[in-house]
Structure 1
Amino acid sequence: MSLFFVQYTYAPDKSAQRDDHRTDHRAWLSDLERRGTLHSYGPFADGSGALMVAEASNLDELRSFFDQDPFARANLLEQVTIREWIPVFGAFAR
């Protein structure tokens, strides 16, 4: 399994719509956490987006998970950046 950073950049003009989908979005995140796919997640302090640390077999599998996010399905994200990460030290190092 590989670790990935997933960074969301929110579409600034869709803040109210994100509020409408936030409960479903957080339930979806909680489900991924329960399944061991998502290790950490949260919004940036300035409200511009969010960062998640996720685990998957490969990039395609991870993208298929994140395509199901209620924010993504409602087209509320300006950009999604996914990068594989190889931690050497710290809590995520293996």
Structure 2
Amino acid sequence: MIVAVTYRYTEDVALRDEVRAEHREYLGGLADAGSLLLSGPFGPAAPAGALLVFRAEDEAQVQGWLDADPFALRGVVASTTVAEWNPVLGSLSSAL
């Protein structure tokens, strides 16, 4: 299954900057394993946050990965949404 996740960050930019390298290293491991398909922050005009797209057995597996993310562990993430996603159109849909 494909799962789309949105993060909304707290206003603590200094903490976000402090933890970013560890967060990206953690997500890099998930990407290397083939579990994280895409990840990146929203643009500067959007509220501070990010979109992450996972391939997983179920949403509980994704929740486990999110709970272990240094951003979550250190309090950078203010809220999270998790939803199964069914991509049907677009150049990336066949790759998923």
User: Do these two structures clear the TM 0.5 threshold for a shared fold by scoring above it?
Assistant: yes
Mapped partners of 2:60, 2:18: distance in 1: 28
SS at match of 1:67: helix
What is the deviation of 1:87? Answer: 1.2
Q: Give the count of matched residue pairs.
A: 92
- Paired residue type of 2:40: G
Q: Distance in 1 between matches of 2:51 and 2:88?
A: 19
Cα deviation, 1:9-68, whole Å, max 9, x if unaligned, reads 0111x1100111111000011100000000111001126100011111001111001111
Task: Look up the match of 1:87.
Answer: 87
TM, length-normalised to structure 2: 0.89
In structure 1, the partner of 2:2 is 3
* Ranges of 4+ aligned residues in structure 1 off by more than 4 Å: none
Deviation at 1:89, TM superposition (A): 1.9
Mapping of residues 54-73 of structure 1, within 5 Å: 54-73=54-73
Q: Which runs of 5+ in 1 are unaligned?
A: none
1:39 is aligned to: 37
Counterpart in the other structure of 1:24:
22
Cα deviations across residues 53-94 of structure 1 (Å, max 9, x unaligned)? 111100111100111100000111110111110111232346
Cα RMSD (Å) of the superposition?
1.2
Where do 5+ consecutive residues of structure 2 fail to align?
Answer: none
